Amino acid sequence: MSAAASSEEAVKASKVLMVGAGGIGCELLKTLALSGFSDIHIIDLDTIEVSNLNRQFLFRQSHVGQSKAKVARDAVLKFRPNININPYHANVKDSHFNVDFFKQFNVVLNGLDNLDARRHVNRLCLAADVPLVESGTTGFLGQVTVHVKGKTECYECQPKPVPKSYPVCTITNTPSKFVHCIVWAKDLLFAKLFGDKKQDNDLNVHSKDDTSSKTDVFERSVDEDLEQYTQRIYDHVFGYNIEVALDNKETWKNRRKPNPIYIRDALPEDAVQQNGRSQDHVNEEQDPSAMVSLGLRNTQEIWSLADNSRVFLEALKLFFDKREKEIGSLIFDKDDQLAVEFVTAAANIRASSFGIPLHSLFEAKGVAGNIVHAVATTNAIIAGLIVIEAIKVLKGDYQDYRMTYCLEHPARKMLLMPVEPFEPSKSCYVCSETPLVLEVNTKTTKLREVIEKVIKGKLGMNLPLIMVGATLVFEDGEDLEEDEIANYALNLEKVLAELPAPVLNGTMVTVEDLHQELKCSINIKHRDEFDEEKEPDRMVLVGWSGPVDKQTTSNGETKSVPSSSNTEDVDGTAEDISATSGMKRKLNEILETKENFDALENLSGVDSSSAQVVEDDNDDGLLMFDEDPRQSKKKRLQ
C-alpha cells in the first residue's frame, strides 16, 4: 500500500490475521472492528474457561467450553454485523497455516501467551514477508513491537530469556526468599511424595540413624496408620532435616540459622487429633480440599504456623485417603486445589523455619504457578497500541514505527515508553541466516540428543531436516517411506562422529524446517569436557543465547538479573524490554521504583536485590508520550 494512503483507506483495504483470542485478543478484535477493519481472520486453539471471563469480555458464562475464536467472532458481529470475521479453532503451528496461508494477509497481529507460538509466527511472517505486530502483557506491564522483514529486527533478533532456575543448594539448604520455599515444596517435596518415584529428586531420603539402609522415609509402609505417617513426614522434613542441616556449622557462619519445627511444637496434641474432624458435613462430591475440611475460607489471609501445619497434615491425608490412585504420577498443577493447599502449607512451614515472611494461599498459588494476575486495562491499552502500529504498517509509514512499552511509573507519571525499532540483527540466525556454533562431544553425543535439546528445544524447529554435506541424516514429517523412517531411527541412536556422514570438529551441519521455511547452518566444535553444573546438557550453542546475565554475589551464588529471567508462560513482557540491549540502562532507570521492581520480580520470580541498577548519568533520550500517542508528541525526560 502506498505511503500516501489515508489511514481509513489502508484499514478498509486490508486483510489481517490475529493470532490468539485471549486477554489481548478480545480487546484487539473489538478495537479492530471499531476502527474500521473489515476482513479479520482469527486463530486460537483454545476453548473458553471460567477463569477467562473476568477480562475476556467477549465471553460469557454460557460460552464456557466453546471455541474462543468462534465466540469472539459472534460477539463482535453483533455490533459490527457487516464485516468479515473468519475464525479458526486451531493451533497456529498446524501445517495448513503455511507460508502461502500467511501471504494472503497485509499484517499479522499476535496476542499470544507463549514463546514457542510467537517464534513460529515470526518465522512464517519472515518467510511470507508479512509484517508482524507482536505484543504481550503481564499485570501492569506490556509491550507492542513491530517486525518488518529487512526494516526492523525480527522477534528473535533479541535473545529470549531462558526459564528461571535456582541453584539446588539454595533450594535444599539455604532458602532466603519465599519463592525458594515454594520451589522446594513443589519441585522437591510434592514431587517426592506424589510424583514419579523414578525421577531424580534432591530431597534427602535416608534418616540419620538408618543411613546404611535403603528405606525411603517418604514411603508409607503397608500397616502404617495414616495419622502417624503424616506426622512422621512433618517431623522429618521440618524438624529432623533442619537439625541435620544445622550440623554443618560452616553454612550458618554468616547466615541466620533455621529453627527445626516438630509437630508437637506447632500444634497442641489434641489439635493434631482433632485435625480435619470439625467439618463432618463436607460434601463427598466436592474435590477433596484441606481448607474445606478445616473450615478455612479466605484464600487471601495468611495462615498462622498452626493453621499451615493443620493444612499440611490434612492435605497429605486427603491425598492418601481420596486420591491414592494418582500417587506416583502426580505433577504439580496450579489448578489442582489440594496440590496448591499442600504446597502453600509446606512452603509456609519452611518459610517459618527460615525466618521468611509467610504468604497467603492466593499469593503462594501465584508464585507456584508463575502467575501474574492479568490486568484488563493493560490488555486494552496494548490492543489499542497494536492497532496504531498496524495502521502505520499498512500505510508504510516505517519511519514512525515504534516499539512501545507500557510501564507503571508513579514518580514520573509515565505510562508509555515508545522507542524506535532496532535494525535487523546481523547475527540473528532467524532473519540473517548467520551460522551458529555448537560445542559438543561428537564422540559421545547422540544425534537424538542434538535434535531434542538443540534443534527442537533451542531453535524451536518442529519438523527438522538435517544435512551433513550432501547427506541427509535425519528428516521428520508425514510423507516418509518406511525404509527412510528405519534409517533415520538408526541414525538417531548414533553418536555424531559415527553418522553415515560423520559430524566432527569443524563439520558444518545444515538444519532446515520446511514448514517454517527456516534454514540455518551450525558449525560443530568438538569439546571433551563440560561443566556438569553450568552446562548440564553437555552442549553449548553459541550465537543462540539463553541470555542469562549473571553476576556473582558475595556468597558465591550465581543469580540472574531481571533482564534475563522469565518463565515460558509469562507473556514475554519485561524480559523483552530489557533484552533489548541498548535499552538496558534506561530500563533500569525506569525500574528504580519499588513497584516496578516488584512487578518484575513477580513476573519472573526473580531476585530483584541482585539486579544491577546502573546510575543513569547522561541524557539517554528516553521518550515519553504526553497524552495521545497518536500525536507522537515526544517529550524528553528530565
Ligand X SMILES: Nc1ncnc2c1ncn2[C@@H]1O[C@H](COP(=O)(O)OP(=O)(O)OP(=O)(O)O)[C@@H](O)[C@H]1O
> How does DSSP classify residue 235?
I
Smallest distance from ligand X to CB 136, Å:
8
**Residue 43: which of ligand X, Zn ion, none does it interact with, CB under 5 to 8 A by kind?**
ligand X
Of 343, 321, 324, the closest CA to residue 334 belongs to 343
C-alpha distances (whole Å) from 512 to each of 50, 51, 357, 426 are: 41, 39, 50, 19
Between β-strands 107-110 and 539-542, what pairing exists: parallel, antiparallel or unpaired?
unpaired
**Residue 157: which of ligand X, Zn ion, none does it interact with, CB under 5 to 8 A by kind?**
Zn ion
Smallest distance from Zn ion to CB 437, Å:
17
Smallest distance from ligand X to CB 72, Å:
9
**Closest residue to ligand X using C-beta atoms:** 22
> CB of 318 within 8 A of CB of 375?
no
Residues that bind ligand X (CB under 6 A): 19-23, 25, 43-46, 51-52, 68, 91-93, 112-114, 117, 374
224 Rama sector, left if φ>0, alpha if ψ -120 to 50, beta otherwise: beta
Smallest distance from ligand X to CB 376, Å:
10
> How does DSSP classify residue 437?
E
Smallest distance from Zn ion to CB 3, Å:
25
> CB of 421 within 8 A of CB of 411?
no
Q: Is 115 annotated as a binding residue?
A: yes
What gap in Å lies between CA 382 and CA 416, rounded to an integer?
Answer: 10
> How does DSSP classify residue 273?
H
Smallest distance from ligand X to CB 114, Å:
5
Smallest distance from ligand X to CB 321, Å:
30
Smallest distance from Zn ion to CB 581, Å:
14
> CB of 436 within 8 A of CB of 461?
no
Q: Give the position of cell 543465547.
A: 545
Q: Is 22 annotated as a binding residue?
A: yes
283 Rama sector, left if φ>0, alpha if ψ -120 to 50, beta otherwise: beta
Q: Is 114 annotated as a binding residue?
A: yes
**Residue 204: which of ligand X, Zn ion, none does it interact with, CB under 5 to 8 A by kind?**
none
Q: Please identify, using beta-carbon distances, which residue of 112 and 590 lies nearer to ligand X.
A: 112
**Residue 428: which of ligand X, Zn ion, none does it interact with, CB under 5 to 8 A by kind?**
Zn ion
What gap in Å lies between CA 93 and CA 98, rounded to an integer?
Answer: 9
Q: Is 23 annotated as a binding residue?
A: yes
**How many residues lie near Zn ion (CB under 5 A)?**
6
Q: Please identify, using beta-carbon distances, which residue of 20 and 605 lies nearer to ligand X.
A: 20
Of 438, 381, 344, the closest CA to residue 573 belongs to 381
* 26 among known catalytic residues: no
**Residue 183: which of ligand X, Zn ion, none does it interact with, CB under 5 to 8 A by kind?**
none
Output b/e per residue, 492-507; b: 16+ Cβ within 10 A. bebbbbebeebbeeeb
Q: Please identify, using beta-carbon distances, which residue of 149 and 525 lies nearer to Zn ion.
A: 149
Q: Which helix (H) or strand (E) holds 390?
A: helix 376-395
**Residue 574: which of ligand X, Zn ion, none does it interact with, CB under 5 to 8 A by kind?**
none
- How many CA atoms lie less than 13 Å away from 387 in the CB half-sphere? 24
Of 39, 104, 124, 107, the closest CA to residue 73 belongs to 39
**Active-site residue, selected from the candidate residues 26, 125, 169, 181:** 169
Q: Is 13 annotated as a binding residue?
A: no
What gap in Å lies between CA 510 and CA 514, rounded to an integer?
Answer: 12
Q: Is 492 annotated as a binding residue?
A: no
**Residue 68: which of Zn ion, ligand X, none does it interact with, CB under 5 to 8 A by kind?**
ligand X
Q: Is 116 annotated as a binding residue?
A: yes
Strand partners, 31: none
126 lies in the site for Zn ion, by CB under 5 A: no
Q: Is 315 annotated as a binding residue?
A: no
518 lies in the site for Zn ion, by CB under 5 A: no
What gap in Å lies between CA 361 and CA 344, rounded to an integer?
Answer: 6
Q: Is 154 annotated as a binding residue?
A: yes
Q: Is 201 annotated as a binding residue?
A: no
Of 622, 490, 476, 605, the closest CA to residue 162 belongs to 605
What gap in Å lies between CA 453 and CA 459, rounded to an integer?
Answer: 9
**Residue 45: which of Zn ion, ligand X, none does it interact with, CB under 5 to 8 A by kind?**
ligand X
- Using CB under 5 A as the binding rule, the residues of this chain from 403 to 432 that contact Zn ion are 428, 430-431
Q: Please identify, using beta-carbon distances, which residue of 264 and 373 lies nearer to ligand X.
A: 373
Residue 586 exposed, middle or buried by CB count within 10 Å (0-12, 13-18, 19+): buried
Smallest distance from ligand X to CB 64, Å:
12
What gap in Å lies between CA 124 and CA 93, rounded to an integer?
Answer: 10
Of 435, 538, 544, 545, the closest CA to residue 495 belongs to 538
Using the rule CB under 5 A, give the single segment among 150-158, 163-171, 585-593, 612-620 that binds Zn ion. 150-158
What gap in Å lies between CA 519 and CA 510, rounded to an integer?
Answer: 7
**Residue 93: which of ligand X, Zn ion, none does it interact with, CB under 5 to 8 A by kind?**
ligand X
Q: Is 86 annotated as a binding residue?
A: no
- Using CB under 5 A as the binding rule, the residues of this chain from 152 to 171 that contact Zn ion are 154, 156-157
Binding residues for Zn(2+): 154, 157, 428, 431
Q: Which residues are catalytic?
A: 169
Q: Interface with Zn ion by CB under 5 A: which residues?
A: 154, 156-157, 428, 430-431
Mark the binding-site residues, compressed into ranges. Answer: 20-25, 44, 52-55, 68, 113-118, 154, 157, 428, 431
Residue set of the binding site for ATP: 20-25, 44, 52-55, 68, 113-118
